[in-house]
């Protein structure tokens, strides 16, 4: 279950509902410092929710679009993923699509467009 933002009230409610672990939904706000990441884990664990999943980040817009700064985003992504592994986070979910605005990740004109290799999008 996702509690975004992961407030004390929401995490307490999730635990009461029977959640077994935490899903941190917005990795954009995650630091790449191990001590700071450990504090995020400790926040979840105070409510009996081990941090098992990190979803939706870190930022990859420059990587996806091939823009200046892509190499730095790759290095930051690698640092965070490595440190998440050290902390016992088992799943890092990502969405490899460019962010076109703050509240939209994808723009579609059709769901049946044919693309490279005959794939349909």
111 within a domain of the structure (yes/no)? no
Residue-number span of the structural domain to which 81 is assigned: 8-95
Q: Counting Cβ atoms within 10 Å, is residue 109 exposed (0-12), middle (13-18) or buried (19+)?
A: exposed
31 within a domain of the structure (yes/no)? yes
Whole-number mean pLDDT of the chain? 85
113 within a domain of the structure (yes/no)? no
pLDDT tens profile 48-93? 999 999 987 677 888 888 889 999 999 998 999 999 999 999 999 8
2 within a domain of the structure (yes/no)? no
Res 35 pLDDT > 70:
yes
Provide the pLDDT for residue 48. 96
59 within a domain of the structure (yes/no)? yes
Provide the pLDDT for residue 109. 66
β-strand 91-93 against 51-55: which pairing, if any?
A: parallel
100 within a domain of the structure (yes/no)? no
Token pair 């917005």 is at which residue? Answer: 26
117 within a domain of the structure (yes/no)? no
Res 4 pLDDT > 60:
yes
What pTM, to 2 d.p., does this model score?
0.73
Residue 102: C-alpha distances to residues 42, 59, 95, 98, 115 (Å): 29, 12, 15, 11, 27
Average pLDDT over residues 17-31: 85
**For the chain, how many structural domains are there in total?**
1
44 within a domain of the structure (yes/no)? yes
Res 104 pLDDT > 60:
no
């Amino acid at each position: 279950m996702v509690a975004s933002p992961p407030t004390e009230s929401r995490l307490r409610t999730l635990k009461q509902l029977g959640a077994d672990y935490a899903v941190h939904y917005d990795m954009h706000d995650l630091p790449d410092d191990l001590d700071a990441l450990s504090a995020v884990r400790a926040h979840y664990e105070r409510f009996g929710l081990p941090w098992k999943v990190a979803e939706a980040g870190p930022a990859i817009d420059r990587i996806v679009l091939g823009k200046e700064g892509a190499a730095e985003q790759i290095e930051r992504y690698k640092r965070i993923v490595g440190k998440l592994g050290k902390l016992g986070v088992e799943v890092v979910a990502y969405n490899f699509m460019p962010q076109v605005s703050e509240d939209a990740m994808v723009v579609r004109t059709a769901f049946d467009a044919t693309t490279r290799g005959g794939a349909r999008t």
